[in-house]
Amino acid sequence: MSGVRLSGVTKDFGTVSVIPSLDLDISEGEFVVIVGPSGCGKSTTLRMIAGLEPVTSGSIFIAGKDVTWAPPKQRDIAMVFQSYALYPHMNVAGNMSFALRLARTPREEVRSRVQRAAEMLELTDYLDRRPRDLSGGQRQRVAMGRAIVRDAYCFLFDEPLSNLDAKLRSAMRTELAILHKKLDRTMIYVTHDQIEAMTMADRIVIMDRGIVQQIGSPRDVYNAPVNRFVAGFIGSPAMNFLDGEIIGGDTPAVAGDGFNLKLSGRQAEAARSHRNHRVTIGLRPEHFNVSGAGGTEASVFAPIELEVQVAEYIGSSQFIAARIRDVPITASIEVGPDSAPLKSGEYQFDTSRIYLFDRESGEAIARP
Amino acid sequence: MSPFRHKSNVFGHYATLIVLALITLIPIWVMVSTGFKNDVLVQQKEPVWFLFVPTIENYEYIMNRGKFDRYLWNSIIVGVGSTVFTLVFGGFCAYALARTEFRGRVLVANSTLLVRMVPPAVLAVPAFAMVVNFGLDNDRAVLIFFYTALNLPFAIWLLFGFYKQIPVELEEAAIVDGASPMQVFVRVLLPLMTSGYAVAGIFTFRISWNEFILALLLTSRKTRTLPVGAAGFITDTGVEWGRIMAMGTLIVIPPLLFTFFAARQIIAGMTAGAVKG
């Protein structure tokens, strides 16, 4: 059994249980992103894997070895910190080679490994600079370099991109994905940014209040969220939620204040068999469209009235902030670059794309 | 940014600075010049500020008959000893305070300063009684002990501030990189703490070096420090100002050298630093 495995791991801080029970299986070479809102226990999980935080109970295995009580040194891991944590008194080469020097690696090998990592990260011109003379993006790279040089079994990333500006962040995302391909190492990446999770992960672990909500590929968690939390967390802009009720017997519809959407297919089937009539309806912003627009073969359109407050022009599509009665709705509508600002009125929604959740438990009843 | 916001204020600022500089420098000049005056000049009613024929007879006396070398040696041992102990123990304590979380931590760190507000004179009598009872008077170790105790609070408070500026992630990064606790301290923390230790060292050394009352009470002929030695020129037959001032001038030199040396470390520490990314 290789990879990284957490088995029944719990963590309490004093009387507060941060992680009630966590089981996680990460295969060797996999890129797993743990994502969730702040305080959900994702960083604590990472720190427990790193050995910086002791577990309250449970076991952690890395590469098949029980490392639950092993110090970080013996876990064969490298970590990139959110604040980079570069040693300010050492230059870039010194920072990258610190671990190797501690391990008394022969000098020649240290040099060649630092050189190789620096080339990979385009840092060769900066090797004798101090961290404070570097830009944010360069520091970020040095932090990565420090991890790469180690050639560890597992790489841990604790929100490494959150201090970068938007443009640099998306560039580093790509680089990280490429890096993962090149190094072919197990990587565990913690973030609160679902875009980072979606773009880089082989598998996403979504956590909330210390509990894993869903584990799956980006496609799975986007298309088939198991509950309302996951549905609302994954996807940008976020999914719209409307409280409604299932009405009609054989030809069911969901209706609420200001809307009435006839269901068909899978959604209709689920609505017929679901006992609780009170549901939450999930509508992804990208599935709204102007009236009369075409869709795929499976599309079944239902009219929906939107009171548009602002329409943001962003090129080929428009983001609209609207309302259905009192409920705010965001929609992203593809209307082409020459379109006029969208106005209030009738829009259409593809009802084959409706998500239904039980209003009490939040569990998904039906999905596209 | 220049602290002088308005040009019109520059004159006022300089005037203030000059006055402050004079207040500091005049006593020093009185000390240095008096040390080079003979008795007649010193006792003269109208003080001579600059125009007099300097003599080194006071220095000759101190060097040849004043046991200056013995006092100097005692002072160096006591000053360096208490500074080393203060920095080592104060550093440990400050580190522990900065890194452990408990309720009232900052209060503890700051209230160490309260101890500092007790003047040594208040402690003199009980200290004397204790030391005599233990039969430890006339031992330089006793002075080192008391000076360390007196200096620790301030050193802890100061170093606490410096340690708190170093992000924990740096230590964690080093731990993940495979460093042992000792390696974390020596290779990551210490280089970043040079400024802090230099500042604390300057203060501790100067206070130990200058302290008079405890040294007067707790030392004898053999263990006397320089300030006590200087006070020896206050005799039954009068105050020998020339010799006192000459000795004062000599006493000032080692802390000056020490401060210059330590100040370099402050600058070195600052250029190494920029801890925050």
Give helix A136-150 / helix A166-183 axis angle, nearest 10°. Answer: 10
Lowest mean pLDDT among A64-73, B93-102, B259-268: B259-268
Give helix B140-165 / helix B68-99 axis angle, nearest 10°. Answer: 40
Residue position matching structure tokens 């976020």: A238
Q: B177 vs A102: CB contact, 8 Å cut-off?
A: yes
Residue position matching structure tokens 């709204």: A288
Q: How far apart are CA B94 and CA B159, in angstroms?
A: 6
User: Given A78, A83, A84, which is nearest B176 (Cβ)?
Assistant: A78
pLDDT at res. B82: 94
Which distant-in-sequence residues (6+ apart) come within 8 Å of B43 by Cβ? Answer: none
Is the Cβ–Cβ distance between A284 and A272 less than 8 Å? no
The CATH H-level superfamily of A240-366 is: Nucleic acid-binding proteins (2.40.50.140)
Give helix B68-99 / helix B105-116 axis angle, nearest 10°. Answer: 160
What is the rounded (10 degree) CA torsion for B150, B155, B157, B159? -170
Q: Which of residues 182-221 of B touch A (CB under 8 A)?
A: 183, 187-188, 191-192
A86 CA to chain B: closest CA distance, Å? 7
Peptide bond into B227 cis (omega under 30): no
Q: A89 vs B273: CB contact, 8 Å cut-off?
A: yes
Q: How far is CA B55 from the centre of its chain?
A: 30
pLDDT beyond 50 at B275: no
Structure tokens at A152: 């560890």
Q: B273 vs A88: CB contact, 8 Å cut-off?
A: yes
User: Given A52, A86, A99, which is nearest B172 (Cβ)?
Assistant: A52
A248 CA to chain B: closest CA distance, Å? 59
Is the Cβ–Cβ distance between A366 and A354 less than 8 Å? yes
Q: How far apart are CA A55 and CA A36, in angstroms?
A: 20
Chain B partners within 8 Å of A102 (Cβ): 177-179, 183
A89 CA to chain B: closest CA distance, Å? 5
User: Given B173, B178, B274, which is nearest A85 (Cβ)?
Assistant: B173
Ranges in chain A, pLDDT < 50 = none
User: Given B169, B272, B273, which is nearest A81 (Cβ)?
Assistant: B169
pLDDT beyond 60 at B154: yes
Specify the amino acid at residue A288.
F
Query: What share of chain B has pLDDT > 70, as a percent?
Result: 93
Structure tokens at B101: 């979380």
Phi, psi dihedrals of residue B275, rounded to the nearest 5°: -60, -40
Residue position matching structure tokens 């379109």: A339
Q: How far apart are CA A216 and CA A187, in angstroms?
A: 16
Q: How far apart are CA A63 and CA A86, in angstroms?
A: 28
Residue A321 backbone class (left: φ over 0; alpha: ψ -120 to 50; beta: rest): beta
B268 touches chain A (CB under 8 A): no
Beta bridge partners of A31: A187
Q: How many residue pairs bridge chain A and chain B with CB atoms within 8 Å of each other?
A: 68
pLDDT beyond 50 at B152: yes
Report strand pairing: B234-235 vs B238-239: antiparallel
Is the Cβ–Cβ distance between A86 and B277 less than 8 Å? yes
pLDDT at res. B9: 77
Q: What is the CATH number of domain B61-272?
A: 1.10.3720.10
Chain A partners within 8 Å of B169 (Cβ): 81-83, 85
Q: Which residue of A has its CA nearest to B168?
A: A85
Which distant-in-sequence residues (6+ apart) come within 8 Å of B252 by Cβ? Answer: B28, B31
Structure tokens at B84: 């080393």
Confidence band of B20 (pLDDT split at 50, 70, 90):
very high
Structure tokens at B19: 């006055």
B272 CA to chain A: closest CA distance, Å? 5
Look at residues A164, A150, A224, A154 and name the one whose alpha carbon lies nearest to residue A196: A164
Q: What does the domain layout of chain B look like in residue ranges?
A: 1-55, 61-272
Burial class (CB in 10 A: 0-12, 13-18, 19+), A178: exposed
pLDDT digits (tens, 9 = 90+) for A119-145: 888 899 999 999 988 988 899 899 999
pLDDT at res. B7: 62
The CATH H-level superfamily of A4-225 is: P-loop containing nucleotide triphosphate hydrolases (3.40.50.300)
B175 touches chain A (CB under 8 A): yes
Q: How far apart are CA A255 and CA A244, in angstroms?
A: 5
Q: Which of residues 134-173 of B touch A (CB under 8 A)?
A: 167, 169-170, 172-173
Q: What does the domain layout of chain A look like in residue ranges?
A: 4-225, 240-366
Q: How far apart are CA A82 and CA A196, in angstroms?
A: 14
By three-state DSSP, how is residue A149 classified? helix
Higher pLDDT, A289 or B136: A289
pLDDT digits (tens, 9 = 90+) for B39-68: 777 777 777 777 777 888 888 888 887 688
Is the Cβ–Cβ distance between B82 and B151 less than 8 Å? yes
Q: How far apart are CA B143 and CA B211, in angstroms?
A: 10
Q: B277 vs A86: CB contact, 8 Å cut-off?
A: yes
Same fold flag, A4-225 and A240-366: no
pLDDT at res. B240: 84
Q: How far is CA A93 from CA A126, A131, A138, A212, B154, in A?
A: 8, 10, 13, 39, 38
Structure tokens at A221: 């968690």
Is the Cβ–Cβ distance between A131 and A87 less than 8 Å? yes
pLDDT at res. A334: 87
Q: How far apart are CA A186 and CA A339, in angstroms?
A: 46
Look at residues A100, A12, A2, A15 and name the one whose alpha carbon lies nearest to residue A53: A12
A16 CA to chain B: closest CA distance, Å? 16
B274 touches chain A (CB under 8 A): yes
pLDDT digits (tens, 9 = 90+) for B177-188: 999 989 999 999
Q: What is the average pLDDT score of chain B? A: 84
Q: B178 vs A73: CB contact, 8 Å cut-off?
A: yes
> Best mutation site among B101, B176, B180, B183 for testing chain A: the one with the most A CBs within 10 Å?
B176
Q: How far apart are CA A163 and CA A60, in angstroms?
A: 30
User: b/e map of A281-290 (b: 16 or more CB within 10 Å)?
Assistant: bbbbbbbbbe
Residue range B152-173: average pLDDT?
90
pLDDT digits (tens, 9 = 90+) for B192-244: 888 889 889 998 999 899 888 888 888 887 888 888 888 888 888 888 888 88
CA B100-B101-B104 angle, to 5 degrees, is 115
B177 touches chain A (CB under 8 A): yes
pLDDT at res. B5: 57
Confidence band of B8 (pLDDT split at 50, 70, 90):
low
Q: Which residue of A has its CA nearest to B192?
A: A89
